[in-house]
Amino acid sequence: MNTGILLDLRVIWDGLVRFFGLDALILVIGLLVVLIWVQVNALFLVWLERKVAGHIQLRIGPKEVGPFGILQTIVDGIKLVAKELITPQPVSWLLFVLSPILVFTPVLVAFVVLPFGPHLVIRDINVGLMLIFAFAGINVLSILMGGWASNNKYALLGAIRSVAQNVAYEIPLLLSAMSVVLMSGTLSMQGIVQAQEGVWFIFYQPVAGLLYLIGATAETNRAPFDIPEAESELVAGFHTEYSGMRFGLFFLAEYTNMFIVAAVATTLFFGGWRGPFLPGPWWFLIKVYILIFVVMWVRWTLPRLRFDQLMNFAWKYMIPIALLNLLATALVIKLVR
Amino acid sequence: MLRKTLTEDSFYLNLGPQHPSTHGVLHLLLKLDGERILECKPLVGYSHRAHEHMGQNRTYLQFLPNTSRMDYLGGLCYNHAYCLAVEKACGIQAPERARYIRTICAELNRISSHLLWFGAYLMDLGAFTPFLYAFDDREDILAILGEITGSRLTYSYCRFGGVSRDLNQNFRDGVKAFIPKLRKRLKDYRTLVTKNVIFLNRTKGIGVVSPEQARDWALTGPNLRACGVAYDIRRAEPYSVYPEMEFEIPTATGGDCYDRYWVRMAEMEQSLRIVEQALGRLPDGPVKTAGVPQWLEPPAGDYHFSYESPRGHLGIYFVSDGGRVPLRMKWRTPSFNNLSILSEILPGTLVADTIAILGSIDVVIPEIDR
């Protein structure tokens, strides 16, 4: 009986492969897995953040729902879904509704090229890194849309800050990633991991690694760079007017973005899935979650920068240092080869 | 009227009365050019409860619980001040032991008020964690005070001619354990917050008030002392047992947000010193003067009393016609004057600075509105 079902599945699978082609099928299944993974990961990260914050702040965080409160975020998610979607009257309706959906698109695309293991990647294209950064740029567009369409002064101020911040911090982010690309000679994510056989790039490129982490924190609007949603100044920044699952989508995107920037950092600087004893995907996830933990740690320790200080920091320090680092890398590579 | 002065580039932003950083229901009307502030108008009165009017309709004792509802963070200080004012008018002298107990409690209350300010201020600057540390410390004080006063926030502990209950052993033990704990915590705060680069950047040179401006706008308390004026009513017009206590008046010279922060942190240490001394010298004896009538009838005339509340100069003025109910009652609360200076120092700063400056002034809205 069981073998019969398996046989049927095999037949169906063969038929599907013949009809769509193997690559397309892997892409579709991969995206389905990613969709589920994004939710589970975000739920886990929110729980982790609350636990980390709790222990940093002399509390214990969620503990009532499920063991160690692990189901707390699921319950919160259900609450968010059940809530009314309030659309204030003077909003620009189309942009207002579109913004939380658009914020999610780049997040999904980035997962296509993330190498979780030696063979566990949906598709390893030769410009993978560029794809991630290109789509990450869309993020800021949706924030601007949401902030502008809300017809709220706090939301608008938050959106303006967000655009300025993202533009400023994308440059050092790209420049530091470029130094790694120069060393590995490829834009393919798997290729970069392959190039780190033996020594991780963080040891060759400590400055670029640090710049990347700072830039990534700013890019994901996390404290101490969380000025677009600075709670004590702008109420909730660009998503002031959003409620229910629309707010939930922004929230989900934020945590998934955190995962992506940490995953890119792992791939670029920390040897990706490389590591002894355990299989590749385990190492990849361990490294990513350690990086995320560091980002959370920073968030719950430091106060927020002021907007102009943040911009000064990017334009006066980070970008020149990143450029110098890139030039030095190019020079050394030229001399060595 | 205001709207006519708007140009193409400027717009109005109503910061509050419902906003996470206005500490209740303060309403700031800001005229902005982008994020830069052109004009600021503080609007108050959202939690006006007519306390002064209530004072004119109640006997002196009946009004006592109202005092701690005005400034809910310095409730005991307000209790203390009101009792001292009425005692002065009626010529009652509290016993020595009661005066010491009142001072200990008032200073503990001052510390708890400054601790809450410290936590809330760091939260305004975007650091969430110090808030919970400060609350952890404050919780100890509330537990200690709850032990003898019976309440945690809105105390009615002081009585005309003494206090309602004597100290007990739990109180002594609690205070003795608390003093070294807070001293250690203050050291932690110095390394973690006071030396933090981001914190320094957010507060140094922001919201500078010159000593002249401070005098013009009648700033008092830590805000005035941060400008370099060593004016503290506990020294200038001493009351209770303060003349016998050894403590310094911490002052700074910059008058900016950082100095206001620094002065308050230093004041907590001085308050600890006072508590330590007072507890060590606590004399024996009764805690209440016998034979104080339930209905006090101060001789006709007007009376004024000044008190150093955690936020500055608290002035109590009342007129008596010789009856059981005052004819007129007026409270000069420090936050009202401290807040008024915002319209002078805010123009030219950024929205983020507004929050930093507003927080550093330490306003308690119900105390402003009364």
- Residue B120 touches chain A, beta carbons under 8 Å: no
Q: Which amino acid is at B162?
A: G
- Return the pLDDT at B8: 65
Query: Shortest CB distance from A303 goes to which of B125, B350, B353?
Result: B125
Cβ contacts of A232 on chain B, cutoff 8 Å: 20-21, 123-126, 355
- Residue B348 touches chain A, beta carbons under 8 Å: no
Instruction: Tell me if A307 and B350 make a contact (CB, 8 A cut-off).
Output: yes
Q: What is the mean pLDDT of chain B?
A: 86
The SS3 of residue B168 is coil
> Per this entry, what is the length of chain A?
337
List all residues 6 or more positions away from B289 whose beta carbon is below 8 Å from its beta carbon. B92, B93, B94, B95, B98, B161, B162
Q: What distance in Å separates the CA atoms of residue B298 and residue A80, rounded to the nearest whole number?
A: 61
Query: Shortest CB distance from A232 goes to which of B11, B123, B129?
Result: B123
Instruction: Tell me if A153 and B355 make a contact (CB, 8 A cut-off).
Output: no
Query: Shortest CB distance from B202 goes to which of A59, A157, A303?
Result: A303
Stretch B149-155: mean pLDDT: 86
Strands B312-320 and B301-309: antiparallel
For residue B191, give Cα distances in angstroms to A294, B103, B111, B226, B282: 20, 30, 20, 21, 34
Check whether B23 has a pLDDT greater than 70.
Answer: yes
- Residue A153 touches chain B, beta carbons under 8 Å: yes
For the beta sheet containing B312-320, the strands, ordered from the edge strand earlier in sequence to the opposite edge, are B301-309, B312-320, B328-332
Instruction: Tell me if B133 and A57 make a contact (CB, 8 A cut-off).
Output: yes
Q: What distance in Å separates the CA atoms of residue B214 and residue A157, rounded to the nearest whole number?
A: 32
The SS3 of residue B9 is coil
| Nearest chain B residue (CA) to A223 | B126
Instruction: Choose the mutation target among A60, A300, A306 for the interface with B, i.e. most B CBs under 10 Å.
Output: A306
List all residues 6 or more positions away from B298 whose beta carbon is below 8 Å from its beta carbon. B60, B86, B89, B90, B320, B322
Omega before B17 within 30 of 0, i.e. cis: yes
- Residue A87 touches chain B, beta carbons under 8 Å: no
A23-42: buried (b, 16+ CB within 10 Å) or exposed (e) per residue?
eeeeeeebeeebeeebeebb
Closest Cα in chain B, distance from residue A1 (Å) = 59
- Which residues, given as ranges, of chain A have pLDDT below 50? none
| Neighbouring C-beta atoms of residue A9, cutoff 10 Å | 10
Instruction: Tell me if A58 and B133 make a contact (CB, 8 A cut-off).
Output: yes
Instruction: Tell me if B352 and A300 make a contact (CB, 8 A cut-off).
Output: no
Torsion of CA A243, A249, A251, A253, to 10 degrees: -160
> Per this entry, what is the length of chain B?
370
Q: Is the distance from CB of A181 to CB of A218 less than 8 angstroms?
A: no
H helices within chain A, ranges in order? 2-20, 22-56, 72-82, 93-102, 105-113, 128-149, 153-184, 189-195, 201-204, 206-219, 231-234, 244-269, 280-299, 307-312, 319-336
Instruction: Tell me if A153 and B20 make a contact (CB, 8 A cut-off).
Output: no
**Digit-coded pLDDT (tens) for B42-81:** 888 888 888 889 988 888 888 888 888 888 888 888 989 9
Closest Cα in chain A, distance from residue B14 (Å) = 9
Cβ contacts of A53 on chain B, cutoff 8 Å: 128-129
Check whether B1 has a pLDDT greater than 50.
Answer: no
- Residue B196 touches chain A, beta carbons under 8 Å: yes
Q: What distance in Å separates the CA atoms of residue B48 and residue A28, rounded to the nearest whole number?
A: 63
Axis crossing angle, helix A105-113 with helix A244-269, rounded to the nearest 10: 30
Please name the residue that has the structure tokens 């945690």. B152
* Residue B112 binned pLDDT confidence (cut-offs 50, 70, 90): very high
Query: Shortest CB distance from A305 goes to which of B129, B192, B198?
Result: B198
Cβ contacts of B354 on chain A, cutoff 8 Å: 233
Closest Cα in chain B, distance from residue A225 (Å) = 10
Q: What distance in Å separates the CA atoms of residue A221 and residue A166, rounded to the nearest whole number?
A: 9
- Residue A226 touches chain B, beta carbons under 8 Å: yes
| Tokens of residue B53, six digits | 């009017």
Q: How many CB pairs under 8 A join A and B?
A: 76
pTM score, whole prediction: 0.82
Closest Cα in chain A, distance from residue B354 (Å) = 8
Instruction: Tell me if B125 and A232 make a contact (CB, 8 A cut-off).
Output: yes
Q: Which amino acid is at B156?
A: S
Cβ contacts of A163 on chain B, cutoff 8 Å: none
Instruction: Tell me if B126 and A301 make a contact (CB, 8 A cut-off).
Output: no
Cβ contacts of A304 on chain B, cutoff 8 Å: 125-127, 198, 202, 352
| Tokens of residue A180, six digits | 């790694």
- Residue B133 touches chain A, beta carbons under 8 Å: yes
